Amino acid sequence: MMIDIKFLRENPDAVRASQKGRGENVDLVDQIIAIDEIKRAAIAEFEALRQEQNTLSKSVGAAKGDEKTALLANAKELADKVKAADSKRAEVEEQTKQLVLQLSNLLDTEAPIGGEEDFVTIEHIGTPRDFAKDGFEPKDHVELGKLLGAIDTERGAKVAGSRSYYLTGAGAMLEFALVNYAIQSALKNGFTPVIPPVLVNPSAMEGTGFLGQAAENVYRIERDDVYLVGTSEVPLAAMHMDEILPADKLPMRYAGYSSCFRREAGTYGKDTRGIIRVHQFDKVEMFSFCKPEDAKEEHKRLLQWEKDFLNAMEIPYRVIDVASGDLGSSATRKFDIEAWIPTQGAYREVTSTSNCTEFQARRLNIRYKDADGTKAIATLNGTLVAIPRMIVAILENHQNADGTVNVPAALQPFLGKAKLELV
């Protein structure tokens, strides 16, 4: 399930409003309410018959002789009825489940309503550099990557097709430095570092909500019925699938480092140059399990840690509150951080944090337990660093007239140098 069916039964208007805000199917709500009633009737009927059968079966065991023969005849007839009622119940339950799975998460009432363009800018941090004042035209990351021997997109395309690349020399070292710095900050903030599987089974994919509208962007290995994850959010969320977590351990925070795979279907014209949009990249992802009542606070914390990272990289950026139509089915609210990319004269998404409330947890059957019993848990995720886009931002923002690039102070200990030199 995703939305709590009891909640839906009692607050159908709230669910309708949410679906409408996302630009998704509103009628679904009424279809579900209708079939839910049929389902409950079917359950009641099955259970009544089953109860009768259980009682009768017990008396068969105790009876002897003629009495037993007579009871057996009755019991046989009843068994058929039970079987019929049971398959009816199973059928209706499955139909209900399929419909409920189509519902997206309930929108946060504070999330802006609208499409991709209707985001609200929350703040700007830092000032885009004035290259005119510095007296040179900025080079883009592709050119810088070549001069530094850091990025090789031509050979990437030769070997693996479009949207593929090699990180070499300083580029590869930059990745290691970024990952090490990210993991070190995550450790400070109470995260457990994780290297998760990137090849997962359908239930993990389904549970995290990536087989809905997002399915087009997922690589599937048909022969073995497994998927390549587009983010370590998937294995991190599914890690506790079918588990009950102890309340006193919450929040549980994981920092996953993994490769991410995206088909990028339907983006043919977009970002064809460089490594802004690629089929494979590495990323450090924050993931948190917490009590639903703490989720909003946790979301703010994730956002703050993302900001801390950008600040440490000394890159100007803005924070946006993503609008309802552009949220993804799991998220109730999403904040993106967009870094300033000088050669594009634009802010481009580098990290993103979503509050999924109980949506994923309900589908993955993850709960927590305290003194009062077991309850729904909330999940949240946020990018600490997505390597290629961060490399783009660093190269372009910190370049010098000769093509060398200054290394942000925070990265210098990890990279062992203050400047990337030409090769």
Kindly provide the b/e burial profile for residues 81-111, where b requires at least 16 CB atoms within 10 angstroms of the residue's own CB: ebeebbebbeebeeebeebbbebbbbbbeeb
Tell me, residue by residue from 234 to 263, as one string, x for binding to RNA by CB under 7 A and - for no binding. Answer: ----------x-------------------
Tell me, residue by residue from 354 to 383, as one string, x for binding to RNA by CB under 7 A and - for no binding. Answer: -------------x-x---xx---------
For position 270 contacting RNA by CB under 7 A, the verdict is no
- What is d(CA 345, CA 30) in angstroms, rounded to the nearest whole number? 47
Question: What is the nearest approach in angstroms of RNA to the Cβ of residue 149?
Answer: 29
Question: What is the nearest approach in angstroms of RNA to the Cβ of residue 103?
Answer: 16
Question: What is the nearest approach in angstroms of RNA to the Cβ of residue 50?
Answer: 4
For position 14 contacting RNA by CB under 7 A, the verdict is no
For position 38 contacting RNA by CB under 7 A, the verdict is no
The residue among 40 and 296 lying less far from RNA, judged by its C-beta, is 40
Nearest-Å Rg of the Cα atoms of the chain is 27
Contacts to RNA from residues 175-234, by CB under 7 A: none
Each as own residue / partner, the long-range contacts of residues 164-168 (CB below 8 Å, 24 or more positions apart, any chain) are: 164/278, 164/279, 164/280, 165/275, 165/278, 165/388, 167/387, 167/391
Main-chain phi, psi angles of 253, to 5 degrees: -120, 130
Contacts to RNA from residues 58-117, by CB under 7 A: 58, 60-61, 72, 75-76, 78-79, 82, 90
DSSP state of 399: B
Could you tell me where the beta strands, DSSP code E, fall in 291-404? 317-321, 333-341, 346-355, 367-370, 373-376, 378-386
For position 20 contacting RNA by CB under 7 A, the verdict is no
For position 34 contacting RNA by CB under 7 A, the verdict is no
- What is d(CA 421, CA 64) in angstroms, rounded to the nearest whole number? 95
User: Hey, what amino acid is at 235?
Assistant: P
Q: Are the C-beta atoms of 302 and 255 separated by less than 8 Å?
A: no
Question: What is the nearest approach in angstroms of RNA to the Cβ of residue 223?
Answer: 10
Pure H helices in 103-140: 131-134
Known catalytic residues are 262, 277, 349, 352, 389
For position 307 contacting RNA by CB under 7 A, the verdict is no
Q: Which residues bind RNA (CB under 7 A)?
A: 5-6, 40, 43-44, 46-47, 50-51, 53-58, 60-61, 72, 75-76, 78-79, 82, 90, 244, 367, 369, 373-374
